[in-house]
Amino acid sequence: MGTRVMLAVVARELKANAKAFLVWAVAIALFNVAGVMKFEGIASGDPEAVRKLTDAFPKVALAVMGISDLDMSTFAGYYAVLEFYAGIMAAVYAVALARNAVSREMVDGTYEFLFVRPVTRTRILTAKLVAALVCAVAFVAVNLVSSLLCLGLLWDVPGLSGGSGPNPAAVVWRFNVWLMALLLVFGAIGACASAVCPSPDRGAAIGNASVVVAYGMGVVYDMFSDHEAAVAARVLSPFRYATPADVIAGSVPVPFVALAAGLAVAGFAVAYVAFDRRDLVPR
Amino acid sequence: MNVYLFELKAQLRGFLAGVITLIGVAVVFLYGAYPIYRDSKADVQHMIDGFPPQFAALFGVNKDVFSFGGFYRFSSLYFMLIVAIMACGWGLSIFGREKRSKAVDFLFVMPASRIRLYAAKLAAGLTLTIAAGVLFLGTVALIYAQFGDDPTATSIPLSRLLLAACSLFGIGVLFLSFGALTAVLLRRIRSVSGIATAFGVLGFMLVSLPEMTGEEKYRVISPFTWFNVSEALDHGSYEAGYAGLAAAVAVLCLTGAAAVYARADARGL
Asked if residues A102 and A202 have their Cβ atoms less than 8 Å apart, the reply is no
Query: Residues with Cβ < 8 Å from A41, sequence gap 6 or more?
Result: A73, A75, A157, A158, A159, A160
For A:219-258, CB contacts with B below 8 A are: 219, 223
Judged on CB neighbours under 10 Å (0-12, 13-18, 19+), A74 is: buried
Classified as helix, coil or strand, B148 is coil
Asked if residues A239 and A84 have their Cβ atoms less than 8 Å apart, the reply is yes
CA B137 to chain centre: 12
CA B103 to chain centre: 31
A-chain CB neighbours of B59 within 8 Å are: 50, 53
A112 interface with B at CB cutoff 8 Å: no
For A:92-111, CB contacts with B below 8 A are: 92-93, 95-96, 99-100, 104, 107-108
| Average of per-residue pLDDT values in chain B | 87
Question: Could you report the per-residue pLDDT of B97-109, keeping only the tens digit for each?
Answer: 988 888 888 888 8
Q: Which of B46, B75, B197 sits opposite A92 (nearest CB)?
A: B197
Q: In terms of DSSP H, where are the helices of chain A?
A: 2-36, 47-56, 59-65, 75-108, 111-115, 121-152, 168-196, 200-223, 230-236, 244-249, 254-277
Q: Which of A45, A200, A211 sits opposite B55 (nearest CB)?
A: A45
What does the pLDDT read at residue B237?
A: 87
Q: Give A259-274 as a DSSP string.
A: HHHHHHHHHHHHHHHH
* CA separation, residue A55 to residues A25, A226, B87, B120, B139 (Å): 37, 13, 38, 53, 32
CA B35 to chain centre: 25
Q: How far is A1 from chain B (nearest CA, A)?
A: 31
Residue A86 CB neighbours (<10 A): 25
Note every long-range contact of A200-205, with CB atoms under 8 Å and residues 24 or more positions apart, other chains counting: A200/A99, A200/A103, A200/A106, A200/A107, A200/B191, A201/B191, A201/B192, A201/B193, A203/A99, A203/A102, A203/A103, A204/A95, A204/A99, A204/A103, A204/B191, A204/B192, A204/B193, A204/B194, A205/B193
Q: Where are the domains of chain B?
A: 2-263
Residue A45 has pLDDT above 60, yes or no: no
Q: Where are the domains of chain A?
A: 2-277
Residue A136 CB neighbours (<10 A): 24
Question: Could you report the per-residue pLDDT of A187-207, keeping only the tens digit for each?
Answer: 999 999 999 998 888 899 999
Asked if residues A181 and A91 have their Cβ atoms less than 8 Å apart, the reply is no
The residue-averaged pLDDT of B55-82 equals 77
Rounded CA separation B116/B123 (Å) = 10
Lowest-confidence pick of A46-60, A209-223, B80-94 = A46-60
What does the pLDDT read at residue A15?
A: 94
Cα dihedral across residues A86, A89, A93, A94: positive or negative: positive
The residue-averaged pLDDT of B98-125 equals 89
Lowest-confidence pick of A106-110, B85-89, B90-94 = A106-110
- Which amino acid is located at A112 in the chain? E
Would you call B202 and A223 a contact, using CB atoms and an 8 Å cutoff? no
In chain B, which residue's Cα lies nearest the Cα of A65?
B74
Lowest-confidence pick of A148-162, B28-42, B44-58 = B44-58
CA A73 to chain centre: 25
For A:24-53, CB contacts with B below 8 A are: 27, 31, 34-35, 38, 43-45, 49-50, 52-53
* pTM score, whole prediction: 0.87
Residue scoring higher pLDDT (A217 or A181): A181
Residue A42 has pLDDT above 60, yes or no: no
| Average of per-residue pLDDT values in chain A | 85
Query: Residues with Cβ < 8 Å from B128, sequence gap 6 or more?
Result: B8, B11, B15, B87, B90
Rg (CA), chain B: 21
Asked if residues A104 and B190 have their Cβ atoms less than 8 Å apart, the reply is yes
Task: Quote ipTM for the complex.
Answer: 0.82
Asked if residues B67 and B152 have their Cβ atoms less than 8 Å apart, the reply is yes
Q: How far is B247 from chain A (nearest CA, A)?
A: 24
pLDDT-derived band at A133, boundaries 50, 70, 90? very high
Pick from B223, B73, B79, B85: nearest CA to B139 = B79
Query: Residues with Cβ < 8 Å from A2, sequence gap 6 or more?
Result: A118, A119, A123
Asked if residues B3 and B127 have their Cβ atoms less than 8 Å apart, the reply is no
A-chain CB neighbours of B46 within 8 Å are: 56
What does the pLDDT read at residue A56?
A: 65
